[in-house]
Chain A
Amino acid sequence: GQQVMQIPQYQHVQEGEDFTTYCNSSTTLSNIQWYKQRPGGHPVFLIQLVKSGEVKKQKRLTFQFGEAKKNSSLHITATQTTDVGTYFCAGSRSGTYKYIFGTGTRLKVLA
């Protein structure tokens, strides 16, 4: 079945360092979404990417969707303690409304 792998599983960074998490799907995706979940909280939608090669930015966050629409990345520039949490990608295939979530990357920011 369709799988979405996400790496790394954990990442500890010093405040001010950059952070990147990668998402790879075994099949071509119709779109990919990114979520952030704070410890003890629920997933919060960040963004959706639809087009091949698409790049979107939200302040210090940069999201990319691969040319083949099978991989994606989230890059945070100059991390802050407020960035702490687990980041998930979620892919959907064309013609379906099922979401396959990646296993998540837990980010810890050391002040």
Chain B
Amino acid sequence: EAQVTQNPRYLITVTGKKLTVTCSQNMNHEYMSWYRQDPGLGLRQIYYSMNVEVTDKGDVPEGYKVSRKEKRNFPLILESPSPNQTSLYFCASRQYNAETQYFGPGTRLLVL
């Protein structure tokens, strides 16, 4: 089944404790992206990647890092999480020249 998976789905952590949210897709998509969703703000793009080893900042990249060492994986790294990074995070992917962007199920993060 074609899908985008994220792990973990739920995470409670404390300020300053490094964490990684994994994202994997099995559709051989070139383009992958991370978004955060906050009430009243909609979805905001954090980082995106056009292909392996090619990443670029979205609208809200501060406090986040990403890497794209393999085509299927696009982990989101929070080196020193802060409470304002409490949010619902979505990973998404699509074929480079295709229209449809597929979203993962989301990761709900709470930073205390």
Residues of B within 8 A of A42 (CB): 90, 103-106
Distance A18 CA – B45 CA, assembled complex (angstroms): 31
Interface residues of A in 65-111 (CB under 8 A from B): 88, 90, 97-104
Distance A6 CA – B59 CA, assembled complex (angstroms): 18
How many A residues are at the interface, by size bracket?
Answer: 10 to 19
**Is A45 touching B42 in the complex (CB atoms < 8 A)?**
no
Distance A98 CA – B105 CA, assembled complex (angstroms): 21
Residues of A within 8 A of B48 (CB): 97-98
Residues of A within 8 A of B44 (CB): 101
- Check B64 for interface membership: any CB of A closer than 8 A: no
How many B residues are at the interface, by size bracket?
Answer: 20 to 34
Return the contact of A88 from the options B40, B43, B105, B106 (Cβ within 8 A): B43
When each residue 29-70 of chain B gets 1 if its CB lies under 8 Å from chain A and 0 otherwise, what string results?
A: 001010100001111110010100000101100000000000
- Check A33 for interface membership: any CB of B closer than 8 A: yes
What is the interface of chain A mostly: helix, strand, loop, or mixed? strand
Chain A residue with the shortest CB-CB distance to B58: A98
Chain A residue with the shortest CB-CB distance to B88: A42
- Check A1 for interface membership: any CB of B closer than 8 A: yes
Residues of A within 8 A of B103 (CB): 42-44
Residues of A within 8 A of B59 (CB): 1, 98, 100
**Is A102 touching B42 in the complex (CB atoms < 8 A)?**
yes
Distance A42 CA – B100 CA, assembled complex (angstroms): 14
Other 18 A-B pairs with CB < 8 A, given A88-B43, A99-B58: A1-B59, A33-B101, A42-B90, A42-B106, A43-B90, A45-B99, A48-B99, A88-B42, A97-B50, A98-B58, A98-B59, A99-B33, A100-B45, A100-B59, A101-B35, A101-B42, A101-B43, A101-B44
Measured CB to CB, the residues of B under 8 A from A are 31, 33, 35, 40-45, 48, 50, 56, 58-59, 90, 92, 99-106
Measured CB to CB, the residues of A under 8 A from B are 1, 6, 33, 42-45, 47-48, 88, 90, 97-104
